[in-house]
Amino acid sequence: MSLWSGLRVRWQAFKTRRKMNRQFGRREDPFSYGRFPYEKARLEAMQAALGGRHWGRVLEAGCAEGHFTERLVRLADRVTALDISSVALARARRRVPSAEFQEADLLSWSPPPGALYDAVVLGDVLYYLDRPGVAAEFDALFARVASWLKPGGRLLLAHGFGGGAELAHRRRFRERFEAAGLALVREAPVEGAELGGVRCLLSVLEAR
């Protein structure tokens, strides 16, 4: 990464961290996981998409306060979860003491040398990183994430959409992972989960 692109990535991370820390600082559970049936149904569908199998090492990026991490630790031996917000992470650490949490910007984060994951989870996080000033780094992220999976490892994408244009945008995330070498296993909006016209597209991809 050049000095200039490094500065742009750090500036974008600074702005996102400040925004997210403000959002989480206003109150606990700012996304209302505890209140909206939509969120419960979405998390259950994400869990079901990984269910039926016990996972070794799993990475969750953009874990927020750990609502999905809490479910993930029941499915895996070892869960690493990262988020850019220290405020969210403090709550996530209390909620899920058995997971390993890291404060990090997904755009510049890399796993420890040699580490590969059986599954990676990206839930409602990619659109935070899709910013004009860091387009090249965002483009590069798809191949980077794909390279973090073991052969046969799975990537779970779960992103909300409010209409046809947003659905196409969320599908484009999946297409970019396919272009990076992952194979689509299945993809569908979560049935019966809607909040103010917003639904969630779940995609499962596999590393060859």
Positions that interact with ligand SAM (CB under 6 A): 16, 20, 31, 61-64, 67-68, 82-85, 88, 105-107, 123-125, 128-129, 158
- For residues 124 and 68, what is the distance between their CA atoms, to the nearest angstrom? 11
Radius of gyration of the chain (CA): 16
Q: Smallest distance from the beta carbon of 12 to ligand SAM, in angstroms?
A: 8
In the bound state with ligand SAM, the residue whose beta carbon lies nearer, of 80 and 85, is 85
Q: Minimal distance in Å, beta carbon 208 to ligand SAM? A: 26
The nearer residue to ligand SAM, 149 or 158, going by C-beta atoms, is 158
The least CB distance from residue 57 to ligand SAM, in Å, is 18
Min dist. Cβ of residue 3 to ligand SAM (A): 20
* Closer residue to ligand SAM (CB): 84 or 146: 84
Of 105 and 118, the one with the shorter C-beta distance to ligand SAM is 105
Give the span between the Cα atoms of 72 and 56, in whole angstroms: 11
Could you tell me the sign of the dihedral formed by the alpha carbons of 67, 70, 75, 79, in that order?
A: positive
b/e 44-69 (16+ beta carbons within 10 angstroms → b) = ebbbebbeeeebebbbbbbbbbbbbb
The nearest distance, CB 60 to ligand SAM, in angstroms, is: 7
Cβ proximity to ligand SAM, 40 vs 78, nearer residue? 40
Supply the DSSP symbol for 26. Answer: H
11, 131 Cβ separation under 8 angstroms: no
